[in-house]
Chain A
Amino acid sequence: MAASDRKIGDVILDVRNISLRFGGVKALTDISFNVREHEVRAIIGPNGAGKSSMLNCINGVYNPQDGEITYRGRTFHHLNAPQVAKMGIARTFQNLALFKGMSVLDNIMTGRNLKMKTGLFAQALRLGPAEREEIAHREHVERIIDFLEIQAWRKTPVGRLPYGLQKRVDLGRALAMEPDVLLLDEPMAGMNVEEKQDMSRFILDVNAEFGTTIVLIEHDMGVVMDISDRVVVLDYGKKIGDGTPDEVRSNPEVITAYLGTSH
């Protein structure tokens, strides 16, 4: 169901042999997979499979003990979050991490932070360049607000919005960074059917219109199979399947992990 005018490119992000332990608990064991430019790549798996941990490794929140990540030809063993953001990888959070006291507009504007060039003093004194820059960024953010259809709540403090809209703001803030790769941690968790449809549409539109590569974690199998190009399946920190939705759906190990074995 992916958009037809989109061309999937070469591997942009390559994760190799990642292992992550917390004390004696093995969160991830020897995980490898890659992500191609412009594709929608899903990571699925039952609760506690290590999906969020995987995302947190790519995002630089966790430092895996083993393995390496290659992004655009550069290989890293250790990453940190601000560095990842600078390289053009944005993310959203499973348990919303919005700036609750700030308005929708301000929340999304923070996503432009890295693109701001004028110095602190120019901003404080509201000098011409700082003023022009602010206006340019504001225009960009307004386009995102239109795109996500949240015009009506522009000035509302985010903490007062219903959950589904907060999820959109979270996506908006990530989009404001104009990322090449967007990591989405359960973008549809806790949503009703209608909200899920809206969110799926936004994700596919982002992918089709801006060519953004998308890596998403999702529980809802139906949604994942509909919108993804390729799917990685994790279970107990190990990779048990990788391929197109159809391949994954017919993989016996995946079926066992999701439905349990019958003896």
Chain B
Amino acid sequence: MGFFLETFIGGLMTGMLYSLVALGFVLIFKASGVFNFAQGAMVLFAALAMARFAEWIPKLTGLTNPVVANVLAFIAAFGVMVIVAWVIERWVLGRLVNQEGITLLMATLGITYFLEGLGQMLFGADIYKIDVGMPKEPILLLEKVFPGGILVNSEDLIAALIAAALVAALSLFFQKTATGRALRAVADDHQAAQSIGIPLKNIWVIVWSVAGFVALVAGVIWGSKLGVQFTLSLVALKALPVVILGGLTSVPGAILGGLIIGVGEKLSEVYLGSLIGGGIEIWFAYVLALGFLFIRPQGLFGERIIDRV
């Protein structure tokens, strides 16, 4: 039982990270109807920026305090993501207003390759590490209940807390602020939003900046766990089955979908791996998503599309 729980919790932690990337997808889809294939590339780009700024800033300024350096690097990396958002609006999306969804999707595919290339050109293509001083030592829980207790990685725990805080902050932002309301309005109807004086441009820059911020947080957490390298943008692809599972328009769906996939792949790897051969972790998420497409194409919490005839 102790082992099962350990696997389960391990899965939850991985799942939380999938959720973070998926959250970026959902935010952009909700606010602009664009299925942003580039979210994974944005995670990589943000993580690269963060890793390199954390290295450059102490070198250039002679700062010795690692906390200050990390905070500055984080702010600088966010600044870069805002610029990316602005550039995307200015040169890509702004020119494709009122185009079909598939056109916009293809455009984000292009953005993906562009960002991957640009990121490695600007920041280098090696493996970098991000050290934001997260505690690495594992914690033992429930030693009284199970023999040997449950081993939990304290880094994962903190990452999960950060992710939870981010989600809470984002839902408040969307539901309770005037800007959040304007974002939801644009998502619903471009023309009506313009007629009440909401400028589409600014809104899109804000949404992509927020998605950039989420990508940055995800990138920092992933990066400090696994190192910053090109494969980061591939791991982020796991967010696709997550959004299919959770529903493209639902923030809670992204969270729950990520957790289900994280836990599911860990448990099936451990318990089914010996029966049908290993490597389940790699394909589990996609097969689960495929199954969902057959049974419930709108996802767990997605809006059901009903066509009026």
Contact = CB atoms under 8 A, between A and B. Distances in A.
B86 to A, nearest CB: 15
A144 interface: no
Contacts of B189: 97-100
Contact of A110 (B176, B196, B199): B196
A113 B182 contact: yes
Interface string A64-82: 0000000000000000111
A81 B194 contact: yes
Contacts of B197: 81-82, 85-86, 113-114, 177
Find the residue from B180, B192, B197, B303 having the highest chain A CB count within 10 A. B197
A111 interface: yes
B184 interface: yes
Contacts of A112: 178
Contacts, number: 89
Contact of B206 (A61, A111, A120): A120
Interface in B154-188: 173, 176-182, 184-185, 188
Nearest to B249: A101
A251 B181 CA distance: 48
A93 interface: yes
Interface in A78-122: 80-82, 84-86, 90-91, 93, 97-102, 106, 109-114, 116, 118, 120
A170 B178 CA distance: 19
Given A99-B184, A102-B185, A110-B185, A91 B173 contact: no
B191 A97 contact: yes
Contacts of B290: none
Interface residues of B, number: 23
A120 B179 contact: yes
B263 to A, nearest CB: 30
A101 B194 contact: no
A130 B173 CA distance: 13
Given A102-B184, A110-B185, A123 B199 contact: no
A63 interface: no
A215 to B, nearest CB: 14
A3 B276 CA distance: 82
A80 B184 CA distance: 21
Given A120-B206, A123-B178, A134-B178, A113 B192 contact: no
A137 B173 CA distance: 18
B106 to A, nearest CB: 27
Nearest to B186: A99
13 contacts: A61-B195, A85-B194, A97-B191, A109-B178, A110-B185, A112-B178, A123-B178, A123-B179, A124-B179, A126-B177, A137-B178, A173-B196, A174-B196
Interface of A: 59, 61, 80-82, 84-86, 90-91, 93, 97-102, 106, 109-114, 116, 118, 120, 123-124, 126, 130, 134, 137, 173-174, 177
Interface of B: 173, 176-182, 184-185, 188-189, 191-199, 206, 303
